[in-house]
Copies of this chain bind each other. A is one copy, B any other.
Amino acid sequence: MNSLDGVGVLGVGTSLFDRQPEATASALVWTAVDEALRDAEVSHVDAAYVGSVFGEMGVAQRALHPFGIHDVPVIRVENACASGTTAFHEAVHAVASGRYDTVLVVGVEHMTSRFTGPIPLEQRDPHGRAGLYLPSLYALAASRYLAERDVPADRLALVAVKNHANALLNDRTRPRGKVTLDDVLTSRMISDPLTVLQCAPVTDGAAAVVVGRYRPGRRDVRVRASALASGGPWDVGADLPWGQRLVGDVARLAYDQAGVEPADLDVVECHDAFTIGEVLVTESLGLAAYGEGMRLIEDGVTSLDGSIPVNPSGGLLGRGHPLGATGVAQLAEVIWQLRGDAGPRQVEDRRLGLVETMGGGVANLDGNACVVVVLEGASS
């Protein structure tokens, strides 16, 4: 693996994250890229990677040519929910290897023009043939987790309360307002035990970051690690619920690359597409032992004022989940946090941050892809 010494994030930007049926993907990208290029103070990029799952053919080129970003490689990548962080991963390693100096990373998804409800699973998967939707996969994991770990079902809802509260402090989204435990538990059931307020909402959005050579004395954030792997075979008899092994393996790769351990982290954005997701992922990241993830929530460890805030942005539950945009929006949040730019949701310690994105969708694999990124702020 290439050394990432000297690779930095030079600038970030996002559109609003909300239902924006009246906007086009290109309009959302315009807002995000314009902000990122100004923030980075760069006027030229050598290439662009664009993460988008459902974008039509040409979505990348269409969105970028108004910036004069053409006659260079512009490549769309897709890795389910991890598409945006996959784009970032490719950009980071392209800069690390000396292939490019400056690379634009974009994530975009215009969900409201494609979906009105949950995403169905492929008919080729056994779960898909059984009529299940993507939320059902997480609901199965949740049911198993709650039963095996002896956790009352209403405890999971605390994840949604925390993340919706964080979203209230995030002006890049239009939060639902104050969300109580009772609100979460009595909201519409999607797939037992997951109520609608425990599921990331259908949202449109775009986000962008500029990756390049770290510039000392600027507000750049160092990239300490970026690891990516696709999942291996998984079946219902596996020791851990769906996805946990993959996230754990990729996190280990990232920690080793960065030379850090979970206890060193100051802030985390992770894949809480459903409440159970944050519990499983925080365990896989090593923030708690397996089976102990709920305690992070119950004890306030991962709250905004806890020792390791998780999803200060509101996460996918609070900010929404435009698939291709999500990973880049997670990066943007951690970068703002590490720079001290996070305003009312600023965390206190801000040396090391982590982003984790889990791309699912194939039920017989332990996830399509997982990306884990470790970033280091200039204050260190």
Contacts and interface: CB of A to CB of B under 8 A. Distances in A.
A79 B74 CA distance: 8
A365 B62 CA distance: 8
Interface stretch (A154-162, A190-198, A226-234, A279-287): A226-234
**Stoichiometry (number of copies):** 2
Contact of A229 (B72, B76, B90): B72
A20 interface: no
A68 to B, nearest CB: 8
Contacts of A53: 57
A187 interface: no
Interface stretch (A91-99, A140-148, A312-320, A329-337): A91-99
Nearest to A249: B71
A58 B362 contact: yes
Interface string A58-90: 101110110001111111111110000010011
Contacts of A353: none
Contacts of A79: 60, 74-76
Given A75-B90, A122-B56, A70 B233 contact: yes
A12 interface: no
A112 interface: no
Contacts of A122: 56-58, 62
Contact of A72 (B26, B77, B80, B230): B230
Given A76-B77, A124-B62, A365-B61, A229 B97 contact: no
- Which has the most chain B C-beta neighbours within 10 Å: A1, A75, A86, A365? A75
Interface in A100-127: 122, 124
A20 to B, nearest CB: 16
Nearest first, the 9 A-B pairs at minimum CB distance are A97-B97, A74-B230, A70-B232, A58-B362, A76-B78, A58-B361, A73-B228, A61-B368, A57-B361
